[in-house]
């Protein structure tokens, strides 16, 4: 079966660190995406992990454990503009052609 689970909402404080978790069950798993989506706007690409481990990209890092079916997105030095939904998406098949999106985690950053 195909399933992506992530928390519905999280709240964090400006300047802090927040970790958004995602667990997945995807047959023929290829890799895992994180997208950011501000309210009423299009999702935009944040990261893609295909190998186990942590990939860092500025204030954002993404981690993948293929054996555990687990990923997280780590946001450091939170800013108000980071208030958005974060979508976890698993891909499968050749060239990652099948993508299953989670429902998204709404992050609220408070002052």
Strands 105-110 and 9-13 turn out to be: parallel
Report if residue 83 touches other proteins, rule: CB under 8 A.
no
**Which part of the chain contacts other proteins (CB under 8 A), choosing from 14-22, 54-62, 72-80, 90-98?**
90-98
Report if residue 53 touches other proteins, rule: CB under 8 A.
no
Report if residue 50 touches other proteins, rule: CB under 8 A.
yes
Task: Pick from 45, 51, 58, 111 the residue near other proteins by CB under 8 A.
Answer: 45
C-beta of 2: minimal distance to other proteins in Å? 9
C-beta of 35: minimal distance to other proteins in Å? 8
């Amino acid at each position: 079966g195909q399933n992506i689970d992530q928390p519905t909402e999280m709240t964090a404080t400006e300047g802090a660190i927040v970790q958004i978790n995602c667990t997945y069950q995807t047959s023929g798993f290829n890799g895992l995406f994180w997208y950011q989506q501000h309210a009423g706007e299009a999702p935009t690409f944040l990261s893609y992990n295909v190998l186990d481990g942590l990939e860092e990209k500025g204030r954002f890092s993404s981690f993948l454990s293929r054996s555990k079916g687990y990923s997280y997105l780590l946001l450091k030095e939170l800013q108000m503009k980071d208030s958005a939904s974060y979508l976890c998406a698993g891909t499968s098949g050749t060239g990652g052609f099948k993508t299953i999106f989670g429902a998204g985690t709404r992050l609220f950053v408070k002052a």
